[in-house]
Chains A and B, each alone.
Chain A
């Protein structure tokens, strides 16, 4: 960790700022917001996977004193709940409430009443009659059959209608080089089909929204969101309220993992109820509501074909990606490009060919889930890569090192429109150290193992982008904003709309500002903000919080620093150029000293400068910055996982994990490790546990909202402390703030792949469908025994 040692604050363990609020129960989440006199809302969800409502009788519900809205009371516009893409790349097929529900759970009407009990009774008093009920289409390949029922006939792209043909919502094709020739020239060709699971985020805080009408026609909104500003813009667009009258206030967010990049539908429904009732309204989803509401992971079906030469070089890659997106588009279209980006940027394939299709089904709409398709793609690619290496008789580690995209190579993780050159790469270091720590070269041979319990070690490598910026504008909006003020006593206020989901993003920003100015973190106040008082930040997603947001904060600090030094030079008349001045924290004075190096007499403190600027009417020391990153560099992760398979029960247990991460400069070491711990748990769970299962007849999820039905790992299910090692690469990303890159998603992306490769090492059997459940394991063992 030699690189970070030259920093004063970065890389040091500092207790997180919101820790006290969170361990004492004082932290206010959106679920905790209560407004005096507010009404409680409930949503009427479609009981059918695909139907058309005939009429709704709301008289009885209204007699109970409830405010009722149906699809007739909301604006007749189609929109996309996610605004991260530019308008020309945004497919719109959502309504606030619909007459034509397309999945079990889609909102049709909503009620608000003075208590949850009355609201629930009013909900039950709604008489909703359906005109038609269609057989649900649940499989994307069946959906593409011309004979299948049409889920959408027309949707809107930007501002024009487009026809939906065979339930395909969007497509993307791409190729480079002569793929057919490359495959003909290859010595080894492996072709496999894969199916990933449909994972529910199971963020601990169910989706919730509170909307309060203000004097003068403004509204204030508190909700579970990863983007304050996009929530505001969408409310403004859907309801035709000027943005200056919509204020979205930050609250703590009880987990999201991608499920609130889009504005959850509950937010718009709460606004609609509030506008009708002219009273504050809160809708807090129950767990059962939440799993049916508007978020699960993209379920992807792949065909991957890889070709390599005897010398161990990949020469061709073919990738077919059919995404089962559920009933609406959130970021399905951009994912077609990004999934290709994940594929292409993993390895130097030589020639490539890609077909991607986003297909509608009558299921809960899909959205990003920690990695935005990357864990799915990486699992499939890393499986194929292992198989190619085996076929070539090469060590899978060596094969990866020979073929991966690393330092100096072209990288286009965010899709074909934005290409950059990789400038930092810790993969070789992480591979070497990880292999040593796990005992890679002593791993068992599957065919040599006997007995009930079989062990295996798997390796997988992956990456995620740091943000979605780039040198040209492209189809994705990605910029951030920061406001920094030096107060009249020299303390600092930092104002940002950027959400911290709990990873410690804003703690990292504070350290970055502290490092730039020499002001200790405890003198920097993160202002609890809202959309009225901040400049635009797109969203906390794409592992951009530290890399983009942190650099925005650093630039604001650098601007403020210029002004501080200029003011300081007025107090130090011998100094002719403020650039000669340095800033450094003096513990004894508990103040930042501004001085000339080598001239101990020439100094002034920051608090003196701040006070003087105020008393002599020089004006405030402040800066407002809007920042767009010119790159989206990859953070690399390398996972070595050892598992034990019980061949009698089929249960797979994690034995040991060595997780290597190249996130550039590590700003919060314990919180960065926390991202990796959590990333492993989610990836493990993706590999062996999670899947939302739908009833094939009704299209209703069978494990809806009950945690015992939808298993995720609990504390005893994961490796002991001594068996979980995290290593950080000693890299420095020249485009990041003090050398930093992202980590949130890279921490999870290769986990499922490493687990699957470990199972293959234990059993000599590969699985092409997730999750790898005990039933599948037992069946495969039985099948092999014949």
Chain B
């Protein structure tokens, strides 16, 4: 079936099987391998993307369901090479180790700060509770979200 949607700001069209998952379409048809497979059953958050601005697990989302909607992957966040405050903060706080889970965390942090620009530490931890990281113990990730929140305060997105 034909699916038309907006992907990282660009209108796209693709033929998909009715049972085809969004993660596979993003990775294999569009070469957007920043969206990671790690569990395939919605338990680790590594494949999180934004669907109409809301975080969804692309391994549990049918590609057919994004017809007429807007999808943003980790590749679509930095505009013309400029990192977002979240991406900058992740690097500055040393929140990145192996990096495999990081796209999912970056997407979640973007989403959190749009909903709640000044989250408390407990709110941050609660928001990312579905994202698994095996390297960092989440310490520098939580610090990075806090730092990004300061950047957001200085220059809200879209300003």
Interface: B50 (CB within 8 A): no
Partner of B139 from A668, A708, A724 at Cβ < 8 Å: A724
Interface: A27 (CB within 8 A): yes
A16 CA to B135 CA in the complex, in Å? 15
Interface: A714 (CB within 8 A): yes
CB-defined contacts of A25 to chain B, threshold 8 Å:
32-35, 73-75, 103
Contact A716 B125 (CB under 8 A): yes
A24 CA to B130 CA in the complex, in Å? 20
Contact B36 A31 (CB under 8 A): yes
A284 CA to B28 CA in the complex, in Å? 13
A463 nearest CB across to chain B (Å): 20
Q: Assuming A24-B75, A34-B28, is B138 touching A718 (CB within 8 A)? A: yes
Most chain B CB inside 10 Å of its own CB: which residue of A18, A677, A708: A677
Within 8 A of A (CB), among B109-159: 121-122, 124-126, 128-143
CB-defined contacts of A749 to chain B, threshold 8 Å:
none
Among A103-111, A202-210, A350-358, A490-498, the stretch in contact with B: A202-210
B40 nearest CB across to chain A (Å): 6
Q: Assuming A678-B97, A681-B138, is B77 touching A716 (CB within 8 A)? A: no
Chain A: which residue is nearest B75 at the CB level?
A25
Contact A674 B139 (CB under 8 A): yes
Contact A32 B134 (CB under 8 A): no
A670 CA to B133 CA in the complex, in Å? 17
- Residues 76-95 of chain B: 1 if any A CB is under 8 Å from the residue's CB, otherwise 0? 01100001001100111110
CB-defined contacts of B36 to chain A, threshold 8 Å:
29, 31, 204-205, 254
A287 CA to B99 CA in the complex, in Å? 18
B74 nearest CB across to chain A (Å): 4
Contact B132 A204 (CB under 8 A): yes
Interface: A680 (CB within 8 A): yes
- Residues 632-655 of chain A: 1 if any B CB is under 8 Å from the residue's CB, otherwise 0? 000000000000000000000000
Q: Assuming A707-B39, A714-B130, A716-B126, is B138 touching A23 (CB within 8 A)? A: no
Contact B134 A24 (CB under 8 A): no
Chain A: which residue is nearest B87 at the CB level?
A23
Contact B39 A287 (CB under 8 A): yes
Chain B: which residue is nearest A253 at the CB level?
B98
- Residues 29-49 of chain A: 1 if any B CB is under 8 Å from the residue's CB, otherwise 0? 101101000000000000000
A181 CA to B44 CA in the complex, in Å? 55
Interface: B16 (CB within 8 A): no
CB-defined contacts of A24 to chain B, threshold 8 Å:
34, 74-75, 77-78, 83, 87
A277 CA to B155 CA in the complex, in Å? 55
Contact B140 A670 (CB under 8 A): yes
Partner of B121 from A20, A503, A670, A721 at Cβ < 8 Å: A721
Interface: B51 (CB within 8 A): no
Most chain B CB inside 10 Å of its own CB: which residue of A257, A287, A501, A673: A287
Interface: B102 (CB within 8 A): yes
Interface: B56 (CB within 8 A): no
A673 CA to B93 CA in the complex, in Å? 11
Contact B78 A19 (CB under 8 A): no
CB-defined contacts of B43 to chain A, threshold 8 Å:
706-708
Interface: A682 (CB within 8 A): yes
Most chain A CB inside 10 Å of its own CB: which residue of B31, B33, B90, B131: B33
- Residues 250-264 of chain A: 1 if any B CB is under 8 Å from the residue's CB, otherwise 0? 001111010000000
CB-defined contacts of B132 to chain A, threshold 8 Å:
202, 204, 707, 712, 714
Contact B92 A678 (CB under 8 A): no
A50 CA to B12 CA in the complex, in Å? 51
Contact B140 A677 (CB under 8 A): yes
Q: Assuming A25-B35, A27-B99, A287-B39, is B134 touching A19 (CB within 8 A)? A: no
- Residues 667-707 of chain A: 1 if any B CB is under 8 Å from the residue's CB, otherwise 0? 01011011001111110000000000000000000000111
CB-defined contacts of B74 to chain A, threshold 8 Å:
23-25
Q: Assuming A20-B91, A25-B73, is B99 touching A252 (CB within 8 A)? A: yes
Interface: A127 (CB within 8 A): no
Partner of B46 from A204, A501, A680, A713 at Cβ < 8 Å: A204
A401 CA to B80 CA in the complex, in Å? 57
A24 CA to B138 CA in the complex, in Å? 19
A506 nearest CB across to chain B (Å): 13
Most chain B CB inside 10 Å of its own CB: which residue of A20, A284, A678, A708: A678
Classify the interface of chain A: helix, strand, loop or mixed: loop
Contact B37 A31 (CB under 8 A): yes
B139 nearest CB across to chain A (Å): 4
Classify the interface of chain B: helix, strand, loop or mixed: loop
A252 CA to B99 CA in the complex, in Å? 9
Give the interface residue-count category, chain B.
Answer: 35 or more
- Residues 711-738 of chain A: 1 if any B CB is under 8 Å from the residue's CB, otherwise 0? 0111110101100100000000000000
A683 nearest CB across to chain B (Å): 10
A721 CA to B101 CA in the complex, in Å? 20
A277 CA to B85 CA in the complex, in Å? 47
- Residues 37-54 of chain B: 1 if any A CB is under 8 Å from the residue's CB, otherwise 0? 111110110100000000
Contact A287 B142 (CB under 8 A): no
Chain A: which residue is nearest B130 at the CB level?
A714
A217 CA to B77 CA in the complex, in Å? 42
Interface: A474 (CB within 8 A): no
CB-defined contacts of A502 to chain B, threshold 8 Å:
96-99, 135
Interface: A22 (CB within 8 A): yes
Interface: A215 (CB within 8 A): no
Chain A: which residue is nearest B37 at the CB level?
A31
Contact B38 A204 (CB under 8 A): yes
Within 8 A of B (CB), among A1-36: 13, 15-16, 18-29, 31-32, 34
CB-defined contacts of A254 to chain B, threshold 8 Å:
36, 38, 98-100
A679 CA to B139 CA in the complex, in Å? 11
CB-defined contacts of A286 to chain B, threshold 8 Å:
40
Chain B: which residue is nearest A32 at the CB level?
B33
CB-defined contacts of A503 to chain B, threshold 8 Å:
97
Interface: B64 (CB within 8 A): no
A32 CA to B121 CA in the complex, in Å? 33
CB-defined contacts of B98 to chain A, threshold 8 Å:
203-205, 252-255, 501-502
Contact A22 B134 (CB under 8 A): no
Partner of B100 from A16, A205, A668 at Cβ < 8 Å: A205
Contact A674 B38 (CB under 8 A): no
A447 CA to B38 CA in the complex, in Å? 46
A253 CA to B99 CA in the complex, in Å? 8
A451 CA to B122 CA in the complex, in Å? 26
Chain B: which residue is nearest A709 at the CB level?
B43
CB-defined contacts of B94 to chain A, threshold 8 Å:
13, 16, 504, 668, 670-671, 673-674
B55 nearest CB across to chain A (Å): 15
A549 nearest CB across to chain B (Å): 17
CB-defined contacts of A501 to chain B, threshold 8 Å:
97-98
CB-defined contacts of B142 to chain A, threshold 8 Å:
715, 721
A712 CA to B134 CA in the complex, in Å? 8
Q: List 12 A-B contacts (CB under 8 A).
A: A18-B96, A19-B90, A34-B28, A206-B37, A253-B98, A254-B99, A673-B139, A674-B97, A707-B132, A708-B43, A715-B142, A720-B121
Instruction: List 19 additional A-B contacts (Cβ < 8 Å) besides A23-B87, A681-B138.
Output: A19-B90, A22-B96, A22-B102, A23-B96, A23-B106, A24-B34, A29-B33, A32-B27, A204-B134, A205-B100, A252-B98, A254-B36, A255-B100, A287-B41, A678-B97, A713-B137, A715-B128, A715-B129, A716-B129
The 4 closest A-B CB pairs, nearest first, are: A25-B34, A254-B100, A502-B98, A22-B99
